[in-house]
Amino acid sequence: MKVLVPYEDAEIVNTIQSILGDEAEVVVSSRGPQAMIKAGGDAVAVASGRVPGEYIHAASNLRMIQAFGAGIDKIDHEAVREREDIVVCNSHANAAEVSEYTIMLLLAAAKNIIVSDRELRKGDWSRGWGGSRPNIEIRGKTCLLIGLGNVASAIAERLKPFGVQLHAVTRTGSSAKTDLVDKISSIKNLESAVRVADFIILALPLTKDSKRLVDERFLSWMKPSSILVNISRGPIVDEASLYAALAEGRIGGAALDVWWEYPRKRKGVINPPSNDFAFHELDNVVLSPHRAAYSEGIMNEQIRFVGENILRFIRGEKPWNVVDMNLGY
């Protein structure tokens, strides 16, 4: 029995193999579909959040796709649904770290940390006491969480002690975690929720329904002082509309850890982060290179979860975190 790991990373491969032991053989490839087919065309499971339809159609033995993170938008949904015999699982091992980072992004934007640091390094103290842009207070404000899954729930738990009112919007207006927020509404009531929010945190998966959820109309509902934080996926926000709203001062600011374009190679270089819009020139935006989930221990935790969940599956046990591929989460 084979498990394909399309990452040429010794730590990932060795850790998963040590967990699977003699019950499965880990085979390795690059991430291209042809390389995946050549190395693991007969694999029962694949450990990756990027699985192209070409591989899914060719790998007739494939029964499980296990992503390393929560996002499964790079897995070909249509190909999985056509097969009807593949289970897709994700991982929430990074929820706590992402929640900490999200709050950091919110504070960095609200308290003007990035610009103040940049100017003080030049010897400019004008951003200090009495400067043109005082800190925005968190306490007593309303924070809207769009989504209330594992990450948003972890954010709510950590943000509550700041003295904020927590509102949430979900697809159905319900959640197993409603006790963590002061109010919850369905997506049908999105406009009214956005209009009263001082801070909006996007913590929902990218699906056909959530793509460009934050468009020109959504941004027009936001207060002129509101701050938008996105730790989900870039395409949930319409890039041009957000840039215009920020550049024209129609919203207070944004903190972005996810983008619309990325370097072709991991850890590669693309300058600036947007080819079309100069977000990097705006002082009311905090820029982050999609690192919210990256902490000193999280990679090992994610790899171990992936290995352990695949082991459960090949032993005939019910795996954790099965995704509904019709909903996309």
Looking at every residue in the chain, the average pLDDT score rounds to 96
SS3 202: strand
Q: Does residue 120 sit in the same domain as residue 253?
A: yes
Q: Find the mean pLDDT for residues 20-43.
A: 97
Q: Does residue 145 sit in the same domain as residue 222?
A: yes
Count Cβ atoms below 10 Å from residue 85 Cβ, excluding itself: 8
122 domain-assigned:
yes
Q: Does residue 185 sit in the same domain as residue 270?
A: yes
Q: Does residue 115 sit in the same domain as residue 147?
A: yes
Res 138: pLDDT: 97
292 domain-assigned:
no
Res 266: pLDDT: 67
Paired tokens of 192: 């009214």
On the question of pLDDT at 181 being above 80, the answer is yes
Q: What share of the chain has pLDDT > 90, as a percent?
A: 93
β pairing state of 87-89 and 64-66:
parallel
**Tens digit of each residue's pLDDT (9 = 90 or more) over 83-111:** 999 999 999 999 999 999 999 999 999 99
Q: How far apart are CA 317 and CA 5, in angstroms?
A: 21
Q: Are 284 and 116 in contact (CB under 8 A)?
A: no
CATH code of the domain in which 46 resides: 3.40.50.720
**Tens digit of each residue's pLDDT (9 = 90 or more) over 239-283:** 999 999 999 999 999 999 999 999 877 667 777 899 899 999 999
Q: Does residue 77 sit in the same domain as residue 106?
A: no
Q: Are 29 and 58 in contact (CB under 8 A)?
A: no
Res 264: pLDDT: 78
The identity of residue 168, as a single letter, is A
Q: Are 161 and 177 in contact (CB under 8 A)?
A: no
Q: At what angle do helices 113-121 and 95-110 cross, to 10 degrees?
A: 60
In terms of residue numbers, what domain contains 17?
2-93+297-314
327 domain-assigned:
no
Q: Does residue 207 sit in the same domain as residue 302?
A: no
* Number of compact structural domains in the chain: 2
Q: Does residue 125 sit in the same domain as residue 252?
A: yes
Res 131: pLDDT: 87
Res 271: pLDDT: 79
65 domain-assigned:
yes
On the question of pLDDT at 19 being above 90, the answer is yes
Q: Does residue 184 sit in the same domain as residue 132?
A: yes
Q: What is the DSSP letter of 214?
A: B
Residues 6+ apart with CB under 8 A from 132: 126
* Model pTM score: 0.93
Q: Does residue 135 sit in the same domain as residue 283?
A: yes
**Tens digit of each residue's pLDDT (9 = 90 or more) over 301-329:** 999 999 999 999 999 999 999 999 999 88
The phi, psi pair for 141, rounded to 5°, reads: -95, 170
- More confident call, 203 vs 326: 203
Q: Does residue 48 sit in the same domain as residue 101?
A: no
168 domain-assigned:
yes
On the question of pLDDT at 201 being above 70, the answer is yes
